[in-house]
Amino acid sequence: MSIRTARTRTAPAPGGGELAFTHWPGAHGGAPLEAPVLIALHGITANGRAFDAVADALDTALPDASLYAPDLRGRAASAALRGPYGLAAHVADVLALLDHLGQERAVLIGHSMGGFVAALAAARHPSRVAGTVLVDGGLPFPGTGAAGGAGGDGAGEEDAIDAQLEAVIGPAMRRLSMTFPDRDSYAGFFREHPAIRPLWNEDVRAYFDRDLVGTEPELRSSCVLEAVRADGRGVLVEPLLRTALREPGPPAVFLWAERGMLDEPQGLYGAENPPGLGLLHPERVASRRVDGVNHYSIVMAAEGARAVAEATAEVARRAAV
């Protein structure tokens, strides 16, 4: 059960409609002027409730800071927002959320695909991004074609994107074409996931419940497949992402999980140093592996969330200098 109370709110989105976000207030009910504003960006088929454990860990690392986590365009309570989709659209939504909050800058915490959104936002709008914490994402994934792109047109390109996404995220991608007779069946699908099974608690259940839409006996994931494909295409082929962390810019910490998407021994970024780590800007980007966690538990379990919260406090201190 969360220490902080999660509150669902909305903000006007570019192009019309409302961007839903979860707000975990700081210790004083809101963020004092001297406390950093934190915006957390979730993975490609996730939603803002993925950061419940991080919000709790911030009670020690940054107790006065408020955390805001949007359901990104095409997911959960923001599923009704229309395209265009893609990483640039998420960046625009983040800036709109900042404007709605009356804030000039924020520290961005990006998990998985959200890390790529955070890196792109910092590269394109450094005056609005105080710093970034990139959590098992934001650096091109080894072996997925991120450095070389995904070729093809039309249906062929969609098939290539789908295949690469399934190779990376497995069951999380497959569920998008499935229906479920009731909420317990959907929960059961993920309780069997080897990386999620040990994490199961009330907050994790709330995270998955937030994704469900439709009516029984045909419940389904809220994720808009077109949005997922557009984001996958951006992660795999956006050229700016290959150099975004090599140039001067806002301070950043890159964290990668020791274990993988299915809790396998090797994580998304390899067992030791990820390829390309040595090319990151040495004075801007700190990097470290988080041992004993997988791609999900790095944000959804106490030990991973603590590492993320501590990195966020580190970036906030560096941004304030």
Nearest to 10 by CA among 21, 26, 1, 2: 21
The pLDDT score that the predictor gives to residue 156 is 67
Q: What is the pTM of this model?
A: 0.93
The pLDDT score that the predictor gives to residue 28 is 62
List the chain pLDDT tens, one digit each, 321 residues.
567 889 999 999 999 999 999 999 987 655 445 689 999 999 999 999 999 999 999 999 999 999 999 999 999 999 999 999 999 999 999 999 999 999 999 999 999 999 999 999 999 999 999 999 999 999 987 765 443 344 445 566 676 777 777 777 677 788 888 999 999 999 999 999 999 999 999 999 999 999 999 999 999 999 999 999 999 989 987 888 888 999 999 999 999 999 999 999 999 998 778 878 888 999 999 999 999 999 999 999 999 999 999 999 999 999 986
The pLDDT score that the predictor gives to residue 2 is 64
| Helical pair 113-124 and 225-237, crossing angle rounded to 10 deg | 60
Quote the CA–CA distance of 105 and 95 in Å, as a whole number. Answer: 9
Label residue 307 exposed, middle or buried (CB < 10 Å: 0-12, 13-18, 19+): buried
Nearest to 137 by CA among 208, 209, 40, 59: 40
Nearest to 251 by CA among 137, 134, 117: 134
Nearest to 313 by CA among 67, 118, 78, 51: 67
The pLDDT score that the predictor gives to residue 30 is 52
The pLDDT score that the predictor gives to residue 29 is 58
The pLDDT score that the predictor gives to residue 141 is 78
